[in-house]
Amino acid sequence: MISQQILTTLDEVLHDKCLTANIPGMALIIAKNGQPIFEKYYGYRDVSRELPVTKDTIFGVASITKSLAAVAVLQLEDAGKLSVEDQMLQWLPELHLPNEQYREKVKIHHLLSHTSGFPGMNIVNCARANSILSDPHGEYLFDGLPLGPNDRKIKTVAELMEVMSEAEYSLLGPPGSLFNYSNEGYALLQEIIERASGENFITYVQKNIFQPLEMKRSFFLTSDLKSFENVTELYAYRKEADNLSVFNSPAWWDVGDIYSNGSLKTSSSDLMKFLEVFRLDGMVNGNIILSKEGVQKMISIQATMPTGAHYGYGLQVDGLSGIPVFGHGGSIKGVSSHMKVAKEQGITVLVLTNIAEANAEKMATTSLNHILQLPDVTSMEFTQYKLSEEQLKEFSGMYQSDEGQKAEILLYDNHIQLKVQQNLVQMKAYTVGGFMTSGGERIKFIMDDQGKVSGLFKGSRFIPKRN
């Protein structure tokens, strides 16, 4: 049994974190063996009208959607309609890549595990362009415009494949050689799901996931928002403010007709039903949603990131103080979300907020630490690796991907610092190209065949060095 004191302390800690981060509204649920043992609904879904957040409040969840897309792929493998070992070329013959030799080797496995070799690209942003450009706050929040001079607006996966086939870019390496989080890769999975099932993606998911799980407040289309009550407003931080000032920015961003990489809208109570698929090895309420083997593939290590973190299929697979934990997060305008499952302990945690750049993952980790009585480890202990000033100079410079990730590495007083937007963070080396930030984040610099720095790996993305 989890004591009331633990739950009371957790409630206080989470309340303080929400206040400090100035989060407008949050839904957080912790369940033990499928039954909620702690729920916190902080703030408002609509601040101006003081409408509270509840378990049924609909939020965007952004990239948590990817785990749902992965379930759909594994369901189709269960049905014998595809295999994760199938070549991408078998299902998407019209898609061409810069390296035809690599094209023949990309498998569905690589798309699921973000190891296809795709760099950070702007193509999914081209599908977001219409909604961003029509949003009065779009250019401000996107940090510019989503389209470059040679980009064109797209709406469908078919158009995305056309642009990918014509675009000039370099793959990061052979399939399987380097992890790089790819929204384009998960967009391609939508097309594969549709071709293998013979149904459009939304219809397939409604029939095979939402309906058997009784997820009645889950959907993909922004146009469906008006059909539901208890939907959150969206909020954003003002970039120039030092005090985390928040403003209402009501327009939702969609991705055209591409849904599989981040378009799910749902409630915390609905999403907890989805997490039961993983906790119960695929059988929920007497319905086999996914085979035990399919669940195992999703929660097993399929790829290792340069920083040492691991990914399965649509789920990040890591540990917490030696306890196996898997989950996923999401972030886009008006969304910070995260879910975690400690399967052996029967614990599921879900955090949904109505503002981008809130640390939902930290909320989920803090919750797990309290419930399981684990130490709150924010950084690992390590012996600092000594590097010369000349070695450190190799890392300094600007890093930027076509997708929009930016970072600057500055050399100062024989140390290097990471600058992201206006934030300057100290870093210490734990190996030749591996660094730890003062906040506990690992950064890994990637070298090319000549030993020169080609980019850095931060979070789940490779960001090329520009100068």
Confidence of residue 134 (pLDDT cuts 50, 70, 90): very high
Query: How far is CA 214 from each of CA 211, 259, 269, rounded to the nearest angstrom?
Result: 5, 20, 11
Per-residue pLDDT tens for 33-77? 999 999 999 999 999 999 999 999 999 999 999 999 999 999 999
Confidence of residue 413 (pLDDT cuts 50, 70, 90): confident
Q: Which two tokens stand for residue 74?
A: 């594994």
Query: Considering the domain boundaries, does residue 171 fall inside one?
Result: yes
The answer to whether 138 and 132 are in contact (CB under 8 A) is yes
Both 356 and 408 in one domain: the answer is: no
**Helices (DSSP H) in 243-326: which residue ranges?**
268-279, 292-299
pLDDT average, residue stretch 258-269 = 98
Angle at alpha carbon of residue 221, lines to 281 and 257, rounded to 5°: 95
Q: Which two tokens stand for residue 400?
A: 């930027």
- Of the residues 318, 348, 377, the one at which a domain ends: 377
Backbone angles phi, psi at 410, to 5 degrees: -110, 140
State residue 381's pLDDT score. Answer: 61
Backbone angles phi, psi at 75, to 5 degrees: -60, -45
Query: Considering the domain boundaries, does residue 383 fall inside one?
Result: no
Both 22 and 139 in one domain: the answer is: yes
> Which structural domain range is residue 443 located in?
389-464
State residue 438's pLDDT score. Answer: 82
Beta-carbon contacts of 380 under 8 Å, excluding residues fewer than 6 positions away, are 430, 436, 440
Which of 391, 403, 409 minimizes the C-alpha distance to 456?
409
Which of 342, 369, 336, 367 minimizes the C-alpha distance to 354?
336
Query: How far is CA 371 from each of CA 6, 30, 85, 338, 355, rounded to the nearest angstrom?
Result: 7, 9, 39, 17, 25
CATH number at residue 368: 3.40.710.10
432: Cα separation from own chain's centroid: 28
Both 165 and 27 in one domain: the answer is: yes
Is pLDDT above 60 for 378?
A: no
State residue 377's pLDDT score. Answer: 65
Amino acid at 197: S
Both 407 and 285 in one domain: the answer is: no
Both 224 and 79 in one domain: the answer is: yes
Query: Considering the domain boundaries, does residue 384 fall inside one?
Result: no
Query: How far is CA 130 from each of CA 135, 164, 251, 269, 354, rounded to the nearest angstrom?
Result: 9, 19, 12, 31, 22
The answer to whether 378 and 371 are in contact (CB under 8 A) is no
pTM of the model: 0.96
130: Cα separation from own chain's centroid: 22
Both 28 and 140 in one domain: the answer is: yes
Both 406 and 265 in one domain: the answer is: no
Backbone angles phi, psi at 223, to 5 degrees: -65, -20
Per-residue pLDDT tens for 285-294? 999 999 999 9
Both 368 and 394 in one domain: the answer is: no
Beta-carbon contacts of 395 under 8 Å, excluding residues fewer than 6 positions away, are 409, 411, 416, 433, 445, 453, 456
Across all residues in the chain, what is the average pLDDT?
A: 94
Burial of 44 (0-12, 13-18, 19+ CB in 10 A): buried
Per-residue pLDDT tens for 146-173? 887 678 899 999 999 999 999 999 999 9
Query: How far is CA 256 from each of CA 82, 183, 323, rounded to the nearest angstrom?
Result: 26, 14, 39
Both 84 and 17 in one domain: the answer is: yes
Both 425 and 280 in one domain: the answer is: no
**Structural domains counted in the chain:** 2
Which 3 state secondary structure label does DSSP give 327?
strand
Q: Which two tokens stand for residue 236?
A: 């954003």
CA distance 366 to 225: 31
CA distance 339 to 31: 12
Range with the poorest average pLDDT among 23-32, 269-278, 409-418: 409-418
Per-residue pLDDT tens for 200-244? 999 999 999 999 999 999 999 999 999 999 999 999 999 876 778
- Of the residues 377, 409, 443, the one at which a domain ends: 377
Is pLDDT above 60 for 13?
A: yes
Give percent of the chain with pLDDT exceeding 90: 85
Query: Considering the domain boundaries, does residue 345 fall inside one?
Result: yes
State residue 451's pLDDT score. Answer: 85
Per-residue pLDDT tens for 419-454? 987 788 899 999 889 999 988 889 999 998 888 999
Which 3 state secondary structure label does DSSP give 22?
coil
3-state SS, one letter per residue, for 394-461: HHCEEEECCCCCEEEEEEECCEEEEEECCEEEEEEECCCCEEEECCCCEEEEEECCCCCEEEEEECCE
CA distance 89 to 103: 7
Strands, E, within 193-296: which ranges? 235-237, 246-248, 265-267, 283-284, 287-288
Query: Considering the domain boundaries, does residue 382 fall inside one?
Result: no
Query: Considering the domain boundaries, does residue 220 fall inside one?
Result: yes
Strand pairing category for 406-412 and 415-420: antiparallel
